[in-house]
Every structure is written in structure tokens, then in C-alpha cells.
Amino acid sequence: MEVQVEESWEELRESFRNRRTRSAAWRKSQLRGLLRLLHDKETDIFNAMKDDLGKHPTETYRDEVGILVKSLNLTLTCLDKWMASSKVHVPLVAFPTSGEIVPEPLGVVLIFSSWNFPLGLALDPVIGAIAAGNAVLLKPSELAPACSLFLAKNIPLYLDRKAVKVVEGGATTAEQLLNKKWDKIFFTGSARVGRVIMSAAANHLTPVTLELGGKCPAILDLSSISSSRDRAAAIKRVVSGKYGLCSGQACVGIDYLIVDEKHASAVIDSMKERIKKLYGDKPWENNSMSRIVNQNHFRRLRNLIEDPAVAASIVHGGSMDEENLFIEPTILLDPPLEAEIMTEEIFGPFLPVITVKRIQDSVDFISSRPQPLAIYVFSNDETLRRQVIAETSSGGVTFNDAIIQFACDTLPFGGVGQSGFGKYHGKFSFDAFSHGKSVLRRSLKTEMSFGYPPWTDHKLPFLRAAYNFDYIGIFLLLIGLKRK
Ligand code: NAD
């Protein structure tokens, strides 16, 4: 493996050095290659996703293939515009000058992806890296082996083997990769491994993007939602935002729900009904829910609810089938806040419902905890909405829905604080893998002599004017002077 890492790294370096990845034509051909791959191999993708996570093909299309197709189409449409340099205004002190920002690729980039969206979270950053003109090495997660193998087998068939590579493996391979110098590391995964990535990157002063997780809360402010239709829509979106995305194994999935105490039992009853509608009476026989990724995660989840105080708070579900790695959609009412289920990211189909006296108290509850990747607020109360935006910090806030922000690539996607840093999606992906180089052009013909020694007092007012006024200011000043 070490040899593969070494050889891959050398070849990618060489490809970048000889400018293979720079042209718009190369970038577009790779992006089109990815589109072809997604089109030609859709059935293989569905099968791999079924093997790794028991995901239904429709869910796979919604959360992975569809998102990638959309991302590729947007990138292909906008690439020329994104690659173009942009003119900037240059202050008077540098007159006569013109300035521009020229995006340039960072070089050879390393992408680590996680297992829960093993295709989407691997290829979406690859799209940004290629669009920005980089050579890329992707290491998919070893915990989704069928998808990892799919990528390793098919990427070389559709993309330039000299400039885009997939290396499979787990932590040992990752460590070997981290010993090499990269020009950017883009990591999706846990905060624990995020720390390993950052310290390895520090050795080479490599910039990193960390897409981490955390506990994404949802607030359901039932009092502000008056129509029964809207209430039903809100409940449906909460239930789906918890269980409907890889069975809760999603960084942007709802981790816990806050409701005011007077509505708690109505909310729980409606959620139970909705769970039945979405997954039937016997959800374990239904193929709409993904499976837990492996036994380790299954046991981790089981441990979360085995604590007697937590077990006592289960008000719906709780059954588990280790052989089939299936966990029933489960609701807990006010589990102890110091229990692991409320201090660690759940990453599974358990939904703690936390009650507060007044729904406004949810804002303090959230802001006294680590910053999540997303906050979801189901409310028609504009005051509460504004309060959440102003008084909490998170990667993003979504009102009256969950998850959907992930598909909106005109908005930057990424965390803050414990949920990571750096942004991607759409143009933000291009920027994440580019350096915006400052280019300043001056003429040799005009000289502002007051900017050079020998220093005299009469040069000072000119310098003051140059720093304090802009061209328009000077223009107005001159007009003003003339009028006098
Ligand atoms: P993980 O941190 O265990 O693994 C992520 C990647 O790191 C994998 O490729 C893995 O092989 C590699 N890795 C594992 N050990 C390593 C080591 N010692 N050194 C270097 N690399 C190592 O994460 P995971 O279990 O795959 O994913 C779950 C986590 O990812 C959750 O916390 C979730 O919230 C987060 N996540 C975040 C996003 C996001 O977009 N922000 C998306 C999905 C998942």
C-alpha cells in the first residue's frame, strides 16, 4: 500500500507540474466523465449502496446521484465564469493601477470521505477540486467497502488516471497519505479524526477544510403554526429529517427536537402516526429505512439507550435487530441531559424530544452547547426566527424544513466551531480548492513623488488625501473647489 501511495503521489505531482490539469478543456472533460459514470453505472451504484447501507435506490438517487448530477451540471455551466479573473477597485494611493483576482489551482489535493453518503461526499468535493484545476487523490471510507471499491474501479475508467486517483484503505493508509505533502486536505468525518488531520497538515502548512458533525437541533414551535395542514407538514419534515436520511446516520440529520411542554404529547402522537405512514407497522420489513452501517456502530447505538435512565424515557420504538443491523425509529422524551445520548452526536434513528417551558428558551438551550452544523426551526413566528439567527451560531439555519439546504448549492455548506470550518458546494467548492491570486498592474509613466523621500512637511497633506479619499472623493472635492 505504501508503494501505491508513493507512486500515486509522485504521478499526481508530475501531472500538476506539467500543467495537465490547468486548461478549461481538461476540467470540463473530467466533469463530463463523471456525469457519464453516474449515468452508465447507476445500477452498480444502487447495488453498492444497498450492500453497504441497505439504502433504497430512490433514497440513493435523492441524496447522492441526483445531488451530484445537479452539482456537475451547475459546474459545467458556470466554469468559464468561475475561472475568469475578476477586476477589483484599486484605491487612490496606488493610482494609476488596475487590480484583478486570478483564481489558480492549489496543486495536488487529498480528499477523505465518510461512509454515510459514500458516493456523494466523496465525489462532490472531487467536482470542486477538478473544476478548480487540481490533481486529486480521493480516499473513500473503508466502512462503505462496496462504494469504495466502486469508486476505485470506475474512476480510472472515466477520468484521467494520471491526475485523478482513488486509493482505498483505512486508518493506516490514511496515515501514510498524511505523511506526504499535499496542497490542500478536504476532510469529511468525525471531530476525533479531524484533529489528526489538522495536526498532520500542520507539518506541511497545508490548508484544510474540515466537514465535521455534531448535534443538529430542531425547534418545533407548534403554537405559531395554526393550520392543521401546516402542522402535519412540519411533523412530516421533522420525522423525515430524523429517520429518512440514512436512518439518522447523517451529519445534517436532526439530532434532537425541542418543543414546548404543553405541546409535547401532541407532537409525539403525531410523530408516531407519521412514522407509521412512512415506514408501516413493521418498519423492519420495510425497505425504506437504511441499515446501520456495521456492528460497531450498531453496538454504539445500543449502548446509548441501554442506560436505564435513558431506556425509561423511550416513548416509541426501541426495538433492534443486530443480525440485520436494523433499528426501529425511536422517540425518547426528556432523556437526562448529561447522558451520552444528549452529549454525543447520535448518528442513528433515536430522536430525543426535549421540552422547554417557553419555546423561546430553546435559543438559550442551543446557544449554550457546541455550534452545530445546522439548526432547524419550524415556526411562523418571525420574532423567534430572528432570535435564532441573531443569538445562535451554526453552519446554517433552515426554517420550516430540514436537510434541504444541502441541495441548495448557491448557499455555502460547512460548519463553524466544533462542526468544522471551510465551505463548499457550487461556486464555494471551486473557491475551496482555488487560491485567489492578487494581480496588480501599474504604469511606469505616472509618479506620485510625495510617496518617496526625502520627506518634507508639504508631502504630508498629499499622502493624507491619498489615504483618506477615494477617486470619487477627490473628484467631488475638485468640483467643490471649482464652485467656490
Ligand atoms: P471518521 O472520522 O471515522 O472517518 C472519516 C475518514 O477518515 C475516513 O475516510 C476514514 O478512513 C479516515 N480515517 C479514519 N481514521 C483515521 C486516522 N486515524 N487518520 C486519518 N484518517 C482516518 O468519520 P466517519 O465515521 O466516516 O463519519 C462520521 C462522522 O462524519 C460524523 O461525525 C458525521 O457527523 C461526520 N460527517 C460530516 C459531514 C459534513 O458534511 N459535515 C458529512 C458526513 C459525515
Residues sharing a CB contact under 8 Å with residue 200, sequence separation 6 or more, in sequence order: 175, 178, 179
Other C-beta atoms lying within 10 Å of the C-beta of residue 458: 7
55-93 burial, b at 16+ Cβ within 10 Å, e below that, comes to bbbebbbbbbbebbeebbebbbeebeebbeeeeeebebe
Report the pLDDT value the prediction gives residue 411, as an integer from 0 to 100. 97
Q: Is 141 in the pocket of ligand 1 (CB under 6 A)?
A: yes
Q: Is the pLDDT of residue 484 over 60?
A: no
Q: Residue range 304-329: average pLDDT? A: 96
pLDDT band for position 426 (50/70/90)? Answer: very high
Report residue 404 as a C-alpha cell. Answer: 434541504
SS3 of the chain: the string is CHHHHHHHHHHHHHHHHCCCCCCHHHHHHHHHHHHHHHHHCHHHHHHHHHHHHCCCHHHHHHHHHHHHHHHHHHHHHHHHHHHCCEEECCCHHHCCEEEEEEEEECCEEEEECCCCCCCHHHHHHHHHHHHCCCEEEEECCCCCHHHHHHHHHHHHHHCCCCCEEECCCCHHHHHHHHHCCCCEEEEECCHHHHHHHHHHHHHCCCCEEEECCCCCEEEECHHHCCCHHHHHHHHHHHHHHHHCCHHHCCCCCCCEEEEEHHHHHHHHHHHHHHHHHHHCCCHHHCCCCCCCCCHHHHHHHHHHHHCHHHHCCEEECCCEECCCCEECCEEEECCCCCCHHHHCCCCCCEEEEEEECCCCHHHHHHHCCCCCCEEEEECCCHHHHHHHHHHCCCCEEEECCCCHHHHCCCCCECCCHHHEECCECCHHHHHHCEEEEEEEEECCCCCCHHHCCCCCHHHHHHHHHHHHCCHHHHHHHHHHHHHC
The strand pairing partners of 220, in sequence order, are 259, 378
Write the pLDDT tens digit of every residue in 181-210.
Answer: 999 999 999 999 999 999 999 999 999 999
Q: Residue range 33-49: average pLDDT? A: 98
Backbone angles phi, psi at 450, to 5 degrees: -70, -10
Report the pLDDT value the prediction gives residue 171, as an integer from 0 to 100. 96
Q: Is the pLDDT of residue 272 over 90?
A: yes
Report the pLDDT value the prediction gives residue 375, as an integer from 0 to 100. 98
Q: Is the pLDDT of residue 277 over 60?
A: yes
Give 398 Cα–ligand 1 centroid separation in angstroms.
Answer: 24
Q: Is the pLDDT of residue 448 over 90?
A: no
pLDDT band for position 270 (50/70/90)? Answer: very high
Q: What is the mean pLDDT of the chain?
A: 95
Domains and CATH numbers, the chain: 2-212+424-436 (3.40.605.10), 217-414 (3.40.309.10), 455-483 (no CATH)
Q: Is 121 in the pocket of ligand 1 (CB under 6 A)?
A: yes
Q: pLDDT: is 316 or 482 the higher one?
A: 316
Share of the chain above pLDDT 90, in %: 89
Write the pLDDT tens digit of every residue in 45-90.
Answer: 999 999 999 999 999 999 999 999 999 999 999 999 999 999 999 9
pLDDT band for position 436 (50/70/90)? Answer: very high
Q: Is 418 in the pocket of ligand 1 (CB under 6 A)?
A: no
- Ligand 1 pocket check: which of 179, 188, 295 to mutate, most ligand atoms within 8 Å of Cβ? 188
Q: Is 290 in the pocket of ligand 1 (CB under 6 A)?
A: no
Write the pLDDT tens digit of every residue in 360-386.
Answer: 999 999 999 999 999 999 999 999 999
Q: Is the pLDDT of residue 419 over 80?
A: yes
Write the pLDDT tens digit of every residue in 209-231.
Answer: 999 999 999 999 999 999 999 99
Q: Is 335 in the pocket of ligand 1 (CB under 6 A)?
A: no
- Ligand 1 pocket check: which of 53, 110, 111, 114 to mutate, most ligand atoms within 8 Å of Cβ? 114
Report the pLDDT value the prediction gives residue 3, as an integer from 0 to 100. 83
Q: Is the pLDDT of residue 451 over 60?
A: yes
Taking the whole predicted model, whether its pTM rises above 0.85 is answered as yes
Q: Residue range 104-125: average pLDDT? A: 98
**Residue 211 appears among annotated catalytic residues:** yes
Give 245 Cα–ligand 1 centroid separation in angstroms.
Answer: 17
**Residue 447 appears among annotated catalytic residues:** no
Give 477 Cα–ligand 1 centroid separation in angstroms.
Answer: 59
Report the pLDDT value the prediction gives residue 480, as an integer from 0 to 100. 67
Q: Is 112 in the pocket of ligand 1 (CB under 6 A)?
A: yes
Q: Is 422 in the pocket of ligand 1 (CB under 6 A)?
A: no
pLDDT band for position 446 (50/70/90)? Answer: confident
Residue nearest atom 26 in ligand 1 by C-alpha distance = 114
Residue nearest atom 32 in ligand 1 by C-alpha distance = 190
Q: pLDDT: is 69 or 95 the higher one?
A: 69
